[in-house]
Structure formats: C-alpha cells, structure tokens
Structure 1
Amino acid sequence: MPVTDPHSVTAALHQRRSIRKFTGQPVDQALLRDIFAAAQRAPSGGNLQPWQATVLTGAPWAAVKDAVAARLAMGREGYQPEYDIYPKGLTDPWETRRFGVGEGLYAALGIPREDKAGRLAQFVENYRGFGAPVMLFLHCSRIMGPPQWSDMGMWLQSVMLLLVEAGLASCPQECWAMYGKTVRETLALGDDQILFTGLAIGYADEDAAVNQWPVPRVGLDEVIDWQGF
C-alpha cells in the first residue's frame, strides 16, 4: 500500500521501529499525557482496561537502572523472570526469525560473533533503555489472563503509534521482566502486580547505524489464509 498521507496510521506503522539509541533530549510530560489520554481509546474485552503503567524519568528512572545493574552483575543467579518471554523449545520458523533479527542487529553495529565482549556490552544497553530519557513500565494485576495481556498489547501499540505521530520514538523491552521482582520493588509495586514490559521513550538518534538497518517482515502468504474470497 503506497503511503500518500504522512500523518496517516499507515505512515506511522511504516515509520515505527524499535529504536536502540536515543538522544538525551527531555520529553515534555504534557505531550506524554496527551498521548496516553488518546491511547485510552484502545479496545479491551469487557472494557476492563487492564493496563497500568508507571512512567519514569530523572532520579526514579536512574534508581531502576542501578537496581537492575546490581542483579545483572550476579549473572544467571540474578535472574527473576516474571514469565517465559519466548516459549520453551521454540521451533522454526519462529526460531529462525528470532536468530535472524539478532544477527542483523550485531551486523549493523559491526560486532562479529566472536566478539563476545562487544555483544555483551550491547546487550547491557537494553538495561539502560538505550539512553532513553523516559521509561514506561507496563504491568497489571496478577488475576488477569491471556485475553487481558492481549488488551495490554493493543494499548501499547496505540501508544507507540501515537509517539510516532508526535515525533517521538520508542523501544518495547520485555527484557525487563527478567528482573521483574527488582523492578517491582524499586517502583513500590505490590506483589499483586506482574510486570509485562518496559517501553523506552525519547527522541531517536537518526544517524545511529543501529537505528537504520532493515528489519524484515514475512510475506502475507506466511501468515494469512484467505478463505471465501
């Protein structure tokens, strides 16, 4: 579909990508309030609106990064997974897609497979939000099930597209759920909450190679089964 209106939903979908290097430019809270207010129009089953978000900048955001850095230093012993981010025993075609996007990322950065230290350093950038000045942590009550998690995803996509419309960028980061307990404790969330994901928010560094490499999408024939047309 050709994009003729630069302010259309189609344009926002084409422009949106997971940004992995942000500038340090602050984000105006009033702008974020407008975006979140508009995102409240996202659908949810039974109008439950199960999403809850904690949005951080400045010292509170730094406190989360510091707390998680201490867990990172513990290696695997520091893991506190809220849920399985990827299914156990992931098979093709999904495993190939997952592997391919990782290799594409490192290739864009010029980090070869044998450069373990370089790859680790890039991995750690996840837990700095890639330099984003704002981090949104999306969570919900533990009583919620898969349908409500689907609702959270629709809210999150709405936020990401609205950010594009406002000239902002984002990166959804489920990786924070690997240290869910530490994040929840630092945010003073009760044990009744489960952490779903983080969303780094800010202004993209447009010149960074990590923000320019092409991220492939499979063709329609791989995901759509047409019947009765």
Structure 2
Amino acid sequence: MTTAEAVERAIRARRAIRAFRPDPVDPALLRRLIDLAAQAPSGTNMQPWKLRVIGPQARTRLETALLAALEAGERPGTEEYRYYPERFREPYLSRRRKVGWDLYGLLGVAKGDIEGMKRQTAANLRFFDAPVALMVTIDRDLEIGSWLDLGMFVQNLLIAAQGHGLDSCPQAIFAQFHPVVRRELAIPEDEVVVCGIAIGKADPDAPANRLVPEREPVENFTTWLD
C-alpha cells in the first residue's frame, strides 16, 4: 500500500463509533497519537489546543457525577459555545434528522421513547465504554481562528488513531455538562470545555456501529471557477 492509499483508507474508514470493546490501548501508542495530532497547523504556530487524558479514578468520579446529573434531569448550565444554529434550516435540518433517526432506528429507539434516548445519552456520557477518554479545552480568550486550529488538531488525532487500527468518537455532549466536567477535572474557568474524545477498538456486534452517515457528493458543495 502506498502512503497516499494508507492516508485515504484512514480518512474514509474513520467514523463515529458508539460502542467499544474493553481492550486497553498502549499508553506509548496514545502518547504517539497525541504527538501526531499536535503536528496540526495553527496560525503563527500558536498551538491553542489543550488535552486531558482521563485516568481511571478521575474517570469514575466524572462519569458518576455526569450520570447523577442526567438522572436528576439536569443539564447544568448552558453550553459554553453554540455548536448548532439557533434555528435549523435546509439542507442542514434534513441531514440532522436523517442521521439521528438512522442511529435511533439501529438502536430500536422509537420517536418519543424518552427512556431509550436517555439510555443513549448515558452511554455517551460514559465515553461509550471506550478504554481511552479524553477532554479537549481551549483558552476562553482565543478567537475563531484558534478554534479552527483546534479542529485540525482533533481531526489529526482521529485520523492518526484510525491509521493505527483504533476507532474513535468526538463527543460534543460534554460542553452541555461543562460545570460538572469542570468541577470533576479541575478545569479552570479561563478554559472552555470543547468536547470529549473516546478512543479504542469498535465493538463489531453493536448495532450503533453499523451507522454509516451519507456524505454529499463533491458537486453539491464545490464551485469550480474558470
């Protein structure tokens, strides 16, 4: 396999995995993946990303607190940043609805099944039982350019993991529970909780892992200028 083929395979194979096997990830490999991710470009080499690798004790505390908040019907505080538009419009509304109901269809969660949705949210807050749990933050006073740089860091990490035979899932849900995350992981107020990342080996028998979101053809979003 050529270098180009290997890179393309990693990019095309990567997708959000929502159920993991318990197989541990070698800490040396994880460190290597993080180092690879940090080769991402950033404006004037600011390297604005911050990452926490959540060990067993901290993870137990975090997940216990998050699940307690969920059980109490709480989503503590508002999101620290607006991930989605205030009002969805086409074509984004249809894409969002399709991937959501495709996932819930695989999970056997019907429309209006509040308990089923709650179970999936709980799985999300447990990092889908992945052996590696990460939390991504960025300094609060940085601007949108640094957020773009952060996104490239995250993508590098996901692709690097895929290239080394690991699966992953970036998880924005933790931004909704940022007061709990901040308290349990001792994250200072001057950092924004951006997302979590789960890394490990996909459970091949899990229905959720059969989801393959559709991608728009190049012609739908590209303008070729003469």
Match of 2:36 among 31, 35, 38: 38
Select the residue among 121, 127, 136 that pairs with 2:125. Answer: 127
C-alpha separation in 2, matches of 1:188 and 1:114: 36
Question: Structure 1: 5+ residue runs without aligned partners?
Answer: none
RMSD: 1.8
Correspondences of 1:1-229 after superposition (within 5 Å): 8-76=6-74, 78-228=76-226
Q: 1:95 Cα deviation (Å)?
A: 1.3
How many residues get paired? 226
Secondary structure of the 1:8 match is: helix
Identify if the C-alpha distance between structure 1 residues 57 and 77 changes in structure 2 by more than 3 Å, giving closer, same or farther. closer
For 1:49 and 1:142, how far apart are their aligned partners in 2?
14
Q: Where does structure 2 lack aligned partners over 5 or more consecutive residues?
A: none
Aligned residue type for 1:132: A
Q: TM-score scaled to structure 2, two decimals?
A: 0.94
TM-score, structure 1 length as denominator? 0.93
Aligned-partner Cα distance in 2 for 1:150–1:104: 29
Taking a change above 3 Å as real, the CA distance of residues 216 and 53 of structure 1, as seen in their structure-2 partners, is same
Partner SS state of residue 9, structure 1: helix
Does the 8 Å CA contact 2:76/2:180 hold for their aligned counterparts?
no
Residue 221 and residue 75 in structure 1: after superposition, are their counterparts in 2 closer, same or farther (change >3 A)?
Answer: same
Q: For residue 198 of structure 2, what is the amino acid of its counterpart?
A: A
SS in structure 2 opposite 1:23?
coil
Kindly, what percent of the aligned residue pairs are identical?
Answer: 36
CA–CA distance in structure 2, aligned partners of residues 187 and 56 of structure 1: 8
Summarize deviations over 1:3-44 as a string: whole Å, max 9, x none.
987961110011101000001111111110111112221100
| Alpha-carbon separation, structure 2, partners of 1:80 and 1:127 | 17
CA contact under 8 A between 1:81 and 1:179: conserved in structure 2? yes
